[in-house]
Amino acid sequence: MTAEISMQNPEIKPRHMSMPFENIDTPYFFNDNALLSAFFSALSSTFPAGEGEFIASVRLYRDKVQSDKLKDEIRGFIGQEGHHSRQHQRANEILRDLGFDAVKLDKDLEGYIKRHVENRSDKFRLAMTVCMEHLTAILAEHLLTYPETLESLAEPVQDLLYWHAVEEIEHKSVAFDTFMSIEGDQKYLRWCQVYATLFFFHRIGWYTIKLLWWQKKMPSWKDFKGFWRFMTGKKGMFTGVQKNYFDWFKVGFHPWDHDNADLIERWKTEFYREDQDIGAQKAKAKAEAPAA
Ligand SMILES: [Fe+2]
Ligand SMILES: [Fe+2]
Q: How is the chain split into domains, by residue range?
A: 21-283
CA of 60 to the centre of ligand 1 (A): 18
Position 286 scores a pLDDT of 87
Average per-residue pLDDT in the chain? 94
On the question of pLDDT at 198 being above 50, the answer is yes
Closest-lying ligand to the alpha carbon of 175? 2
CA of 159 to the centre of ligand 1 (A): 14
Closest-lying ligand to the alpha carbon of 57? 2
Percent of the chain with pLDDT over 70: 97
CA of 29 to the centre of ligand 1 (A): 21
Looking at residues 202-218, what average pLDDT do you find?
97
On the question of pLDDT at 7 being above 80, the answer is no
Position 2 scores a pLDDT of 40
Position 8 scores a pLDDT of 59
Nearest to 32 by CA among 24, 42, 23: 24
pTM of the model: 0.93
Position 50 scores a pLDDT of 97
